[in-house]
Amino acid sequence: MAEFTMELNDDQKQVRDWIHGFAADVMRPAAAEWDEREETPWPVIQEAAKVGIYSLDFYAQQFFDPTGLGIPMAMEELFWGDAGIALSIVGTGLAAIGVVANGTEEQIGTWIPQMYGDQNDVKVAAFCSSEPDAGSDVGSMRTRAVYDQAKDEWVLNGTKTWATNGGIANVHIVVAVVDPELGTKGHASFIVPPNTPGLSQGQKFKKHGIRASHTAEVVLEDARIPGSCLLGGKEKLDERLARAHERARSGGGERVKNAAMATFEASRPAVGAMAVGTARAAYEVALDYAKTRTQFGRPIIDNQGVAFQLADMRTQIDAARLLVWRASWMAVAGRPFESAEGSMSKLFASEVAKKVTAQAVQILGGNGFTREYPVERMHRDSAIYTIFEGTSEIQRLVIARTISGMPIR
């Protein structure tokens, strides 16, 4: 088990500084342009691929950091650079992790390279789970996958929404219902290969923030995929469904749901780290501005009204990072989240990002309200953290039910 420490080792510091340099030199100069264009920043992704940041190897190295701090450290630095561009860079990782976690060795070897492409021809992938009527309530999912035994094919029908890279991805990972009687335990994940007939992009969303990240609906109309594209394989699925039916008959279903919730808990600190990165970026802009902006013959940081805001901002950012690091360490150390520490970190960091970026706009005054300064964009970007990967309301529900001993549904 890794010892908990608040000091990065030399290797981690080197990786952090490397990512920070890319964020400062490549991402930040491009941030305003791609926010205005509301398009996927392909040239920036290609640069990330050339230096090794846009690759499965990079994320695997950070994921297997024995301290648990590799991923949150990387996320904080990338999202310090720019949230929209960062999400375009890391979005493929969501789909890749889905394949690595649930796929066979053959599926991993076949599909992961197609998700990323190469330095000269970068590709992206999409993870498609949410639906118009099934966001927080995944039990309401309607997308169906029906097995055609005669052709050894799965037929997918339904509409996914809020899909990062949806429709433009080379490979889509789609979660669908295979056994409606089992509720959330009757879901399975499927690889939808490039150029599959029946898959199309629906509405592309024009968003309030993270506008450099492509978000759209994915429509599946009798989309036929090979049987080999079921993640984990048919035999494994049949065994899992049989066990779920048996547990349902014996009244043991709740244990399965709590195990699934524990998996979600472990992924939430990464989103908290993204929020910390955006909050830190806004705080640094506000701090520099307050030191140089003069009013009434002195820098505005000399005014307690401004100085105290900055003090609170820094305190909240550091507190959020500590919650993220604690949860990340607990996950890698196998410590149970007995008080929903994963949700705590995501909830607190997300709320801090919204508050700190709003305070940064206020400190910059009229300048903060214009697009000439980046805090306006950071404030817009921060709104997403309390919404995606589980809203703040869902995080509070998970925490409340966990500490009270009530079942998480």
Q: How many helices (H) and strands (E) does the chain have?
A: 13, 11
Backbone angles phi, psi at 96, to 5 degrees: -65, -40
Region class of 9: left (phi > 0), else alpha (psi between -120 and 50), else beta: beta
33 is annotated as an active-site residue: no
The Cα–Cα gap between 33 and 303 comes to: 34
Residue of 47, 131, 217, 389 marked catalytic? 389
Backbone angles phi, psi at 340, to 5 degrees: 55, 50
Query: What count of other Cβ atoms lies within 10 Å of the Cβ of residue 104?
Result: 15
Q: Count CA within 13 A, CB hemisphere, residue 186.
A: 18
- Taking the C-alpha atoms of residue 75 and residue 206, their distance in angstroms, rounded to an integer, is 24
Please identify which residue in the block is written with the tokens 């009530």.
406
Residue with tokens 């493929």: 92
Place of tokens 């629906």: 202
DSSP for 59-87 reads HHHHHT-TTS-HHHHHHHHHHHH-HHHHH
Q: Which residues are catalytic?
A: 389
